[in-house]
């Protein structure tokens, strides 16, 4: 299957190539970059040397010739491609926020007018697998909502309030140079940011509502002195006290058939480079507060790996094809 990657020069695009090179059905025929057009993909993705031999191009959307496309571009950029790819029958997974939310919520959250809106399934397979399987266009979730939602999902209908606290590696900020990600400002430091106004909150609330939850949902992210990974602590205040046995049964039942969710001690070293989400939990002695912790690689389960998982479901492939690898520990 011929694949085009629009916006292949970033960290997520590079990880997408890395993973697709192990996919037995994937043949990357197009990797686009406006600023690097005409240069080898391996000029900036040096880890891919001797594994792929194509150059970046910058084609018009109508000149993209592929069976499947990934839009690894920021919000507002994806909407310039999405509609035309859909009309041409090219199945697509979009990494941006452009199609994750209802139109009014998107425009309020991102402060822009959407010029090419249509509804698309939210690409969290553990919750929306049936919708994804029928779709020709899927909105890949944000990295923070992925880890947060999976941590709390089994408790959604029991929760009164959910407070997510996430720590993320700097690769989540992309490859652009900034004061925020400058080494002296990151190393030996943990920086909370967008403390009450992060744009991923609507996704988190949307998915809890999808699960039938009326819980209030709050979120604060922190920048961690690490390259990859997100560790999320979900403080789940319960409507009624629960026992450890009830909580264990809820998590085990919810994830019993999910290959990429593992109920074990969550730490970044266990998932780095992989598509797994590891989750563990502890219950307060009074049974009213559950603390669930999840760990994901923000570039894999939080971006490229989950996008391939969605592609596999959309195309009828084995769901783990191309993403069947362990984390890099230590």
Active site residues: 143
In three-state secondary structure terms, 268 is helix
Element (H, E) at 111: none
Cβ pair 35, 99 in contact under 8 A: no
Rounded distance between C-alpha atoms, residue 309 and residue 124, angstroms = 9
Rounded distance between C-alpha atoms, residue 251 and residue 254, angstroms = 5
What letter would DSSP give residue 198?
-
Rounded distance between C-alpha atoms, residue 93 and residue 271, angstroms = 23
Contacts of 183 (CB under 8 A, 6+ apart): none
DSSP string of 64-109, one letter each residue: ---SEEEE---TTTTHHHHHHHHHTT-EEEE-SSTTTS-HHHHHHH
Rounded distance between C-alpha atoms, residue 29 and residue 20, angstroms = 12
């Amino acid at each position: 299957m011929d694949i085009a990657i629009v916006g292949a020069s970033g960290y997520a695009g590079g990880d997408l190539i890395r993973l697709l090179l192990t996919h037995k059905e994937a043949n990357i025929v197009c990797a686009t970059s406006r600023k690097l057009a005409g240069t080898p993909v391996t000029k900036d993705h040096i880890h891919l040397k001797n594994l792929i031999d194509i150059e970046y191009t910058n084609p018009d959307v109508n000149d993209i010739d592929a069976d499947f496309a990934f839009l690894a571009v920021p919000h507002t950029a994806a909407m310039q491609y999405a509609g035309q790819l859909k009309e041409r029958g090219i199945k697509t997974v979009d990494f941006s926020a452009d199609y994750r939310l209802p139109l009014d919520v998107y425009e309020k959250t991102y402060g822009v007018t959407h010029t090419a809106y249509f509804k698309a399934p939210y690409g969290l397979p553990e919750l929306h697998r049936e919708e994804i399987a029928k779709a020709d266009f899927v909105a890949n979730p944000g990295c923070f909502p992925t880890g947060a939602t999976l941590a709390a999902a089994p408790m959604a209908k029991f929760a009164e309030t959910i407070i997510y606290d996430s720590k993320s590696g700097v690769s989540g900020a992309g490859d652009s140079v900034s004061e925020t990600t400058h080494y002296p400002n990151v190393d030996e430091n943990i920086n909370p940011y967008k403390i009450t106004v992060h744009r991923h909150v609507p996704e988190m609330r949307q998915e809890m509502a999808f699960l039938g939850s009326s819980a209030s949902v709050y979120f604060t992210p922190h920048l961690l002195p690490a390259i990859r990974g997100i560790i999320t602590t979900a403080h789940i205040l319960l409507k009624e006290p629960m026992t450890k046995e009830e909580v264990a049964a809820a998590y085990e039942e919810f994830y019993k058939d999910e290959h990429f969710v593992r109920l074990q001690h969550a730490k970044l070293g266990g998932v780095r480079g992989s598509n797994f989400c590891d989750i563990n939990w502890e219950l307060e002695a009074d049974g009213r507060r559950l603390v669930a912790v999840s760990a994901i690689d923000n570039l894999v389960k939080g971006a490229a790996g989950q996008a391939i998982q969605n592609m596999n479901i959309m195309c009828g492939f084995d769901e783990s094809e191309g993403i069947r690898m362990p984390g890099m520990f230590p």
